[in-house]
Structure 1
Amino acid sequence: MPDIGIAASTESSGMATSLFVAGPARFAERPDRILEDVFEFFDANPDVPYVVLNSDDGMDVRDMFRRPGSPPLVKEGYYVPEMPDSSALFVLARRERVDPIRPFAYEDIDDYRTPMEVLNRDGVARRLFLGHLELQKSVPRPNDPDLAESRIVTAAEWLEYAAKFSKRPDIRGTGQISFLDREFNARHRPPLDWKPTPWFPIPWSKLQLQQFDQMATLGFIHRPVFVKTTDEHGKPLARRDAREKALMDGLQEALRTLPETERAKGPARVIAATNNQTAQLVALEGMLHQFAAQGGPEIDSGKLDKFINIDRRLGNTGAATLFMEMAIGVMGSYRAGGPSLAVNLRDPHEASFIFISPPSDEKRKTQDKARGDVFRSIRSMAIDPANYAVPATQ
């Protein structure tokens, strides 16, 4: 069954009209290479403007998806679980890919106070949404009475449907249409000279384009680097110097993913996880000391603004580890500047490196001035903290 993880909760989170299709997924203790899948997906689909990447792990998630008949992982009562609930979601956008559709943005029926029969009949995005719902019900699914009547649509299934939708006469305004339809609904259609692409059967409306442009730019994710830390027999490197050399090679390769002007500076901070493996942490510290001796920045593991040990700060974040590191890196780079380096050493057979860079100072100032702190919560707290303030005394 296709799965989109925590993105499936969008309907209950106020995004009921947003359409999602399932892309590649990796279910493993270390699914870090899904980042390679994302970059390859962008390369193979040059008109895709963004991908939603999410990760989720914890005892509750593992209990939900455990094998039938296996013992439960969650028990009743008050206790500290072996793993905290860990989740991170990223909207990875290629903003320049939206530029070709800007001249074709049109006025759709975006006011949902419009009578439903009018919206269903004349709204272009609404008809695409209804088609998506029907597609969810029509695609094959396991014959299991416990499952819902519909399932998430895969990318391949959606592209096949979208190609057909892009040719509908009532959407394009082609073929035989009535005088009233031509006079009153023409402005609610994409321009006639619009040429559909696989992921854009129709261009975005002006409102959709505006909403996309309003999303804050929080940072830039660079291509990941994965380095084997095994010998010729496939066993973890036993010698510390060999392990440090492998990590140094990984760091140097990761640095080459940065703009040339940033490479010499190195990371402003490191966010790392080793699953509490002392040998891995010692090798990482040794590599960072070598890097500093060669002219790189000095990363003091005793300073929280320079080195964040996920194992000690968050606990066992499992499969979500690298993505939790990336999220912290995004926030650290945005607030304090400089590139952040996320390193996952939980697997003694392979190390993961990925750099996160902040937007320009000008971009950050513009965004902060327009919307305030981009990381602030926009939800009202269920409990007012003022209720727990120390009473004033005279």
Structure 2
Amino acid sequence: MPQALIASRDGDVTRDVYRKRGTPGLQNAQVVPTIFESMTGLLVTRSDRVDRFIRPYAVNEAEDNQNKDTDLGKFWAFYWDRDDAFIDWYETAEKAKGIKDPLAPGTMSTPYWQAQLPTLWKTISNRGPGNFEPSPWLPIRWAQHQVKEFDAAPVLGYLHRPIKASMQDENGKRLKPALQAKALQAAWVQALDTLPEGQKPVRVFYDSTNNPEAEIALNNALHDLNKDGHGLELGNVEEGYDIGRRLGNTGVSGALVEINLATIASYKDGGVSAVVYAGTDGSLTVQMVRPPDEARKAKNSQNRGADPFTYGSPTGGAPAE
């Protein structure tokens, strides 16, 4: 897979729409939300996979997804036909389970979609350079204009391998505070090793919402690592960013909110950003976000203006002349 879009949405209003039948809904009153509305998106890519699995096999076709004489046009029509069919399939399956008024997801599931692909493959020509083998993750060849669009997309940062620290012992019991800090400290050191030599984070994003133990563990871990007086301090407003206090409870979006804000901070202000987020199993994960170099930023500006984060918005910039 060359790229994946990870998206999340949460909030009191969102949860009210999808609440379990029979449970009380939101009251018509002016109150501070329990979970603030949030919507996040993160597009992660692997350019090496594009170079290996896509670029050598790209075809030179017009940018027209409505032309059913091309594999791209066939793919486009087939996708939306199957997406519509999924709604009926899903609701029928849910009713068979006894659910009275099932609500289908906004798009079809991956297993359903991939199960449809053999039907598509019977209709495509697969003509083009090289020996391209269609797969569930790359059903057809890309067109050259798609490759050019990929190349023009800005690189906003580099997401390093996440390091997970369990906060439980071998019996599933919660670790005591001192051991939590020690486990998180070890994960932090491992996360540092994923960075290029000599680099370290200049800020950290974390979330204390409903998890004060995590903040205590992080604070103690960083204090123990701060041997030379140049380490991060959560109490420094320019180094420690608790999104729970600064933004509020963002629910399941919390980790993506942290990563996205870290990406923006590193891109605009420089330096590596660390993020620490909790898992549903009570674990804590440490991950580093590294900004692109100046040469890459200059290339970004050619296609997305001086600020790629506002490009395309009503007040956003335009590409450099």
Query: TM-score, normalization: structure 1?
Result: 0.69
Check if 1:335 corresponds to 2:268. yes
CA contact (8 A) 1:337 1:358 kept: yes
What is the SS of the residue equivalent to 2:226? helix
Q: Which residue of 2 aligns with 1:43?
A: none
Superposition deviation, residue 146 in structure 1: 5.3
* 1:73-92 to 2 correspondences below 5 Å: 74-92=26-44
Superposition deviation, residue 49 in structure 1: 0.7
Superposition deviation, residue 280 in structure 1: 3.4
* 1:163-178 to 2 correspondences below 5 Å: 163-168=118-123, 171-172=124-125
Q: Which residue of 1 aligns with 2:306?
A: 372
Amino acid at match of 2:203: R
Superposition deviation, residue 77 in structure 1: 3.7
Amino acid at match of 2:182: K
1:303–1:127: structure 2 CA closer, same or farther, 3 Å change rule? same
Q: Which residue of 1 aligns with 2:296?
A: 363
Q: How many residues align?
A: 304
Check if 1:214 corresponds to 2:152. yes
Select the structure of larger CA radius of gyration: 1
Equivalent of 1:250 in 175, 183, 187: 187
Amino acid at match of 2:83: Q
Equivalent of 2:117 in 157, 162, 168: 162
What is the SS of the residue equivalent to 1:287? helix
Superposition deviation, residue 276 in structure 1: 5.4
Superposition deviation, residue 328 in structure 1: 0.9
What is the SS of the residue equivalent to 1:315? coil
Superposition deviation, residue 320 in structure 1: 1.4
What CA RMSD, in Å, does the superposition of the two structures yield over aligned residues?
2.8
Amino acid at match of 1:267: P
* 1:245-394 to 2 correspondences below 5 Å: 245-259=182-196, 261-262=197-198, 265-275=199-209, 277-293=211-227, 295=228, 297-345=230-278, 349-370=282-303, 371-376=305-310, 378-380=312-314
Amino acid at match of 1:298: G
CA offsets per residue over residues 252-306 of structure 1, 9 Å max, x none? Answer: 22223323x14xx43221101122544432332121111111x584213233331
1:292–1:209: structure 2 CA closer, same or farther, 3 Å change rule? same
1:228–1:102: structure 2 CA closer, same or farther, 3 Å change rule? closer
Amino acid at match of 1:355: M
Amino acid at match of 1:250: A
Query: TM-score, normalization: structure 2?
Result: 0.83
CA contact (8 A) 1:57 1:320 kept: yes
Superposition deviation, residue 149 in structure 1: 9.0
Superposition deviation, residue 241 in structure 1: 2.4
1:148–1:278: structure 2 CA closer, same or farther, 3 Å change rule? closer
The range that moved more, 89-98 or 197-206, is 197-206
Q: Which structure 1 segments of 5+ residues have no match?
A: 1-47, 113-118, 173-188, 382-394
Q: Which structure 2 segments of 5+ residues have no match?
A: 316-321
Q: Which residue of 2 aligns with 1:59?
A: 12
* 1:182-221 to 2 correspondences below 5 Å: 190-191=127-128, 193-198=130-135, 199-221=137-159
Among all aligned residue pairs of Structure 1 and Structure 2, give the percentage whose two residues are the same amino acid.
27
